[in-house]
A and B are shown apart, each in its own frame.
Chain A
Amino acid sequence: EPEVTQTPSHQVTQMGQEVILRCVPISNHLYFYWYRQILGQKVEFLVSFYNNEISEKSEIFDDQFSVERPDGSNFTLKIRSTKLEDSAMYFCASGRLAESNTGELFFGEGSRLTVL
């Protein structure tokens, strides 16, 4: 069964460093998302991406964050200068635009980011 894959599974970085989290969405999906979950807390929406541009973003997704779909298969989240509070599990998700437009998402297993 097709699945969303994410790398790395765990990354430890120093505060102020740049981090790139990678995702390979399901191949026939058109909508791509990043969410994050701080340990023990709710899953928070960061950004959605469609047709090579950001379609929605939350207030969390500030200038430190960027997304890119560089080659038609990968979908990346970059954090330019990490802060301690960026420590979280980052989930990539993809969705298929069906006629019913159900919004059902398929999630990857997550990338755990630890900022020291």
Chain B
Amino acid sequence: AQSVTQPDARVTVSEGASLQLRCKYSYFGTPYLFWYVQYPRQGLQLLLKYYPGDPVVQGVNGFEAEFSKSNSSFHLRKASVHWSDWAVYFCAVNNYAQGLTFGLGTRVSVFP
């Protein structure tokens, strides 16, 4: 069965520093992969999505992610973090007819 693992429950980063959030997936076949962000007291918003093609995908607000089939990974990156990036980030993989399977999320805290 498909699954998503986000090994880091919490990440703390200084404003202006780079950020990488890890995501490992398990999926039989070629996955569609997604990163969502959840700001406090809000729903999830799509950051970026991967459909088979270029392994590096660009998203909103300077985020990008890289797909690796050999590592079963879809890590999210941002070169310079802003205080407004304080949020919870979810990785997800398509779940055939059941929509998406989500990881448990990584809570990102940004400090000056």
Note whether A and B form a binding pair: no
Interface set of A (CB-CB < 8 Å, partner B): none
Interface set of B (CB-CB < 8 Å, partner A): none
